[in-house]
């Protein structure tokens, strides 16, 4: 029986790369998307074209009923849930003095409440031997100006994950967070000029931005063979310090 993964934010960027990688590893994948169905349908078609199994479901990660429906699809279509990758997230950059509090609430709803809602449903549904992977950011360590609100929302994810790992004692389920550094995605490029992107690429000893596939490689390990890594935040950033 193949493992079954639920990937939120799986239609774009890092989430898309994760969905494709898990499918390539033989897992059936249910992709949750928030808005346009076209990108999610394209990922499903790409997986199916390579002989894999996938489905796409519209689901707001902060909505309990929508997330329950997402897990229902995984169970009905593929028989259960073994892996939950919570890659959905939003980012708004602003100095604290100029912060739009509505944007703060939006990040809180998706990045923090969404992690709780998805995590709660995962605890109720995930099978023994499963894995939960949440997403933080290396910005929690770098303390860059304009990132305060976003970093705060992701620091909450780092707090949630090891506690959830302990709450799952005896279930043989791991819970970890992955914290990417600057990664070449639409979300990262939004609002940044070329000079800013070039500086970010030089921040690590590898002297490049990460790729979504770099991050997906680590997630795939946590979602499969890396059973002795639990309750950790893994910084995947090429050595940014």
Is position 173 within any domain? Answer: yes
Number of domains in the chain: 1
Report yes or no on 240 lying in a domain.
no
The residue among 215, 111, 92 whose CA lies nearest residue 159 is 111
CB contact at 8 A, 83 and 22 = yes
Q: What is the pLDDT of residues 44-96, one digit of tens each?
A: 999 999 999 999 999 999 999 999 999 999 999 999 999 999 999 999 999 99
Residue-range definition of the domain harbouring residue 163: 4-233
Q: Could you confirm whether 150 is annotated as catalytic?
A: yes
> Is 185:14 a contact under the CB 8 Å cutoff?
yes
pLDDT of residue 186: 82
CA dist 82 and 69 (Å) reads 16
pTM here is 0.95
Q: 162 in a domain, yes or no?
A: yes
How many residues belong to the chain?
241
pLDDT averages per 10-residue partition of the chain, 241 residues: 93 97 98 94 98 98 98 98 97 96 97 98 98 97 94 98 98 98 85 87 92 97 96 96 71
- Please tell me the predicted confidence (pLDDT) of residue 185: 86
The pLDDT assigned to 11 comes to 96
pLDDT at 33: 97
d(CA 224, CA 79): 18
- Is 239 a member of any domain? no
pLDDT at 177: 98
Residue 187 pLDDT: 74
- For residue 2, what pLDDT is reported? 86
Angle at 60 between CA 183 and CA 119, to 5 degrees: 75
Structural domain contains residue 160 = yes
* pLDDT on residue 1: 67
Round to whole Å and give the CA distance between 66 and 81.
Answer: 16
Residue 189 in any domain: the answer is yes
The one catalytic residue among 147, 150, 188, 235: 150
Any domain includes 194: yes
CATH of residue 226's domain is: 3.40.50.720
On whether residue 238 sits in a domain, the answer given is no
């Amino acid at each position: 029986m193949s493992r079954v993964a639920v990937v939120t934010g799986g239609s774009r960027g890092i989430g898309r790369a994760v969905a494709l990688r898990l499918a390539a590893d033989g897992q059936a994948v249910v992709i949750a998307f928030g808005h346009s169905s076209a990108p999610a349908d394209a990922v499903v078609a790409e997986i199916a074209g390579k002989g894999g199994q996938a489905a796409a479901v519209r689901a707001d990660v902060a909505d309990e009923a929508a997330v329950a429906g997402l897990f229902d699809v995984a169970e009905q279509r593929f028989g259960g849930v073994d892996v939950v990758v919570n890659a959905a997230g939003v980012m708004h950059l602003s100095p604290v003095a100029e912060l739009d509090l509505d944007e703060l609430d939006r990040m809180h709803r998706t990045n923090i409440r969404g992690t709780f809602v998805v995590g709660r449903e995962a605890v109720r549904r995930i099978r023994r031997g499963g894995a939960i992977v949440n997403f933080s950011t290396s910005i929690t360590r770098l303390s860059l100006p304009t990132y305060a609100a976003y970093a705060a929302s992701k620091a909450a994810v780092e707090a949630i994950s090891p506690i959830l790992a302990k709450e799952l004692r005896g279930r043989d389920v791991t819970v970890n967070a992955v914290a990417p550094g600057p990664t070449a995605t639409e979300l990262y490029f939004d609002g940044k000029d070329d000079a800013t992107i070039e500086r970010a690429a030089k921040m690590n000893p590898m002297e490049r931005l990460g790729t979504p596939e770099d991050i997906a490689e680590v997630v795939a390990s946590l979602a499969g063979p890396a059973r002795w890594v639990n309750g950790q935040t893994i910084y995947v950033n090429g050595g940014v310090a």
